[in-house]
Chain A
């Protein structure tokens, strides 16, 4: 039987298991929406206020569920509005399929109304992209997009569909989903050598990255840590993957990581890098990263080997498979001396000051984390609040901390929290944001209200673009150029205007009361917590620095 291209798109998405679609209607996709009308009981469609929010929502859905996020936008501005969202997903290797409409194919290249070369524009921020030139390719291309998004190192894929291909008819015979590939053949001798290096090390440390999430290998990682008593640090992309908060789980490393994590890397004789890319926020100074250590690496992406830091030995392949196979080759150890040394490092960890009723960010974050427990999904925007949340969120499960790590996209959070809640309706989702980030995409509050997606948003309001201001404070002679946000903004009225519930608090007692009340409400929540403008994210190692340069106050 013949279907329009629009119907083929929707049918293929359903057959790929898509049950949630983030999208925004427009002229070039009107036929796709017309087709969607017939399938609205099978696909939940969530319309953001702005396509960027839709892209972040699809991303947040994917990060929190492990499934592919799907976003649909019209041509021209609809498509370009996706770009920041796609780039955010690309930098953090998040599988997404993005479908854009475009002008009809006879108008392509003629500067038609709302025509844009989104194929060209997104080439460098997608794993791959397609432009449909034949309706016969439509189903195959969508299926290939899902395969590419999820094969090897994951990432976003875009399909641009000129309008006429949504209107033409073609037979639809359901095909199977394409198998995910990218499994590299693992050579036994490589595993043996890898294990031997680990067995010979006296002071090994695991440096775990977002690849542990992508490959779903958190349990395999923990088994390795426990068997050989290897302590581990994590990047911001790997918050939650190290499991229980114990002596082996050292927490976050890098610019705002724990002293003990950074010292442990510094003093180790072996760094075991798993699914991570030695970014400039961790290997702040690549020349002095782990100066006394051998470095070995496992990554699914060959191009991550020797990219930022040259390693001594590597295995390219799937982490889950490699960690599972290597376990039997790893010797049990107790590593008493090394762990004792790390306990000494821990004594030098930064402790936040404890004023009784003062409203420091860490108290807010700890309170929320303790209240909701391990299933809580924390989402952040970008800036100081992001780092405070990373430091104090105490996540012990994968996919419970969603943040824009690579691109550092302010405005990511609200859309992402909507996507996370849409994908996890039974789990609490709390966005910690800042006044700068929140106002970038606060229009998505409307989306949350419209779709009854009841997230809690806590705005740590320091009336400043805090992270830039912190750098100006510490590194630019307190010349606060354009980082003070002096306007008074009534977040309570704002929330009410959108149909959400708002609170404002200036002490921790007020915050706890507001939060307790918020948990009884059945609508999206905005809680403004007014914090000190001069609050710093500590510790801090300035860009390009080493542990010698740690700033503690």
Chain B
């Protein structure tokens, strides 16, 4: 039986998975141990931990009510990481996938859970060297979490388009705005949460899966959105890690505004029919970003991701005021209007330099020092 630890509604936290690269050719390097060893020599109190392969590191924020506080914390974590990475001559970068690493060269981090994942999934575990942002939104109870999970599913393409930052994979331009999600899709327990309507129903589903020996914990689900009962949150796992430090807070603000909208209007329209177009819309956003075409499963209408996003942002104005994130809403709107995406920036750098090493070098400067050029 999963216990849902209730939390303060609409509180926020984010986790960012980051690339660790060498500064010779900017390929991924097994630097997580060295970096963690050095960082842990000094007391810092931040949540910084290893990830599945040794070219990754994950940072997590504390619980916040406002995105500006979250940004301050992220900047402090970045300062700590950057100072120590410079000492070890390591680069840290955002982005959803490293442009030219070879999955077979990655080493699984020596931790029991990761070794188990590697044992079960074989090469998929190494291919999982991709980098995402997870957003946690506090929920008052399990039923609210289930409702919010279903509500947010409709907006998954928006998060994909806003965060897309992985056009290159294994040395090639994939022609996708985000190629990272293709790695996630390969896992048998990826996709979306089943169409349960309450926490009790979810618990029944979980118990069935556990009895069948398919899952042992919530971590075994690789869904785009999943409840996180131990934190009392709903976790959005669809975003690529953005290239800079500000975008993660804008994405968090968007999630917070949507969540407030869902909770305020007591949304309950849970239906399997809404999931008819889920995979298709998700693909459109991955492939075309803001230019993707979304199909509304109820009306059958087609709109571009950009139009749908702008229309949604307009509806969220009152929530932005209530949550004190008008600036974030304005920044999001400006980006959507300009079709500004990290994927395009990465392609532009490659077009300009002809070198994927140079792309990662600039990516790394962007994340570590706010220097996009």
A and B from one complex = no
A interface residues, Cβ below 8 angstroms from B: none
B interface residues, Cβ below 8 angstroms from A: none
